[in-house]
């Protein structure tokens, strides 16, 4: 088995390091593809079908590379829960003939975590993650500055003990999402005035704190 990793500016550095470490632990060869969606005008415009456009271009490159490595089928990690969410990118997978074995046999997120724990995968309980472009509402252009800003803020919050956090760039508000059990701790820390200042410097008012809903 071969692992393809699309390395983009839309991932945090921690995610990229985690992919490398996990492939090494599993004894799986990892092939990295350097791809920059921020160079695609149709992606940067951030239309409602952004996820479809992005996945179609990225996965097309991965599918095209299969013969070079003597492979015939590309698998992805979509699970059964994902099929019930609004995920335009799934259409791109179907169009390209990419198979999703976890979803095919009905494994849900909790099932995947249980199986991963049983076979010793260390990331079995890692918080769900998504590409950084999801932090920017449709219709607002995606720029390196915005992506870099939310990435730095999320990295800082994670380092302060808020796993799975999200920092969402709105039209007028900057929203920090954390787990329900972390909200009171976040508002009680001196971190809040710091983020209010950072939000104000970017033209946001006010800074909002909300519960993170895992998907």
Choose the weakest-confidence range: 104-118, 169-183, 196-210: 196-210
Beta strands 174-178 and 166-169: pairing type?
Answer: antiparallel
Q: What is the structure's pLDDT at 37?
A: 96
Q: What is the structure's pLDDT at 7?
A: 95
Sheet harboring 207-211: ordered strands across? Answer: 166-169, 174-178, 207-211
Contact call for residues 52 and 88 (beta carbons, < 8 A):
yes
Share of the chain above pLDDT 90, in %: 58
Helix (H) or strand (E) segment spanning residue 167:
strand 166-169
User: Mind listing the pLDDT tens digit for each residue in 64-113?
Assistant: 999 999 999 999 999 999 998 778 889 999 999 999 999 999 999 999 99
Q: What is the structure's pLDDT at 194?
A: 76
Locate 204 and state its tokens: 């946001």
Q: What is the mean pLDDT of the chain?
A: 89
Share of the chain above pLDDT 70, in %: 97
User: Mind listing the pLDDT tens digit for each residue in 125-175?
Assistant: 888 888 999 999 999 999 999 999 899 889 988 988 998 899 998 878 888
């Amino acid at each position: 088995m071969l692992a393809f990793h699309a390395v983009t500016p839309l991932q945090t550095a921690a995610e990229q390091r985690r992919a490398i470490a996990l492939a090494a632990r599993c004894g799986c060869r990892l092939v990295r593809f350097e791809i920059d969606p921020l160079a695609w005008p149709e992606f940067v415009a951030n239309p409602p079908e952004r996820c479809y456009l992005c996945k179609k271009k990225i996965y097309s490159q991965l599918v095209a590379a299969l013969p070079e490595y003597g492979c015939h089928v590309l698998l992805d990690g979509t699970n059964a829960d994902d099929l019930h969410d609004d995920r335009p990118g799934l259409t791109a997978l179907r169009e390209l003939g990419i198979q999703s074995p976890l979803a095919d046999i009905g494994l849900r997120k909790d099932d995947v975590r249980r199986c991963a724990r049983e076979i010793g995968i260390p990331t079995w309980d890692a918080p769900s993650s998504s590409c950084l472009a999801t932090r920017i509402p449709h219709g607002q252009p995606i720029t390196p500055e915005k992506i870099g800003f939310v990435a730095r803020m999320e990295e800082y919050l994670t380092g302060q003990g808020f796993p799975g956090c999200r920092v969402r760039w709105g039209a007028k508000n900057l929203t920090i999402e954390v787990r329900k059990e972390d909200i009171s701790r976040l508002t009680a820390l001196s971190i809040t005035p710091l983020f209010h200042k950072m939000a104000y410097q970017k033209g946001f008012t006010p800074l909002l704190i909300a519960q993170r809903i895992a998907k």
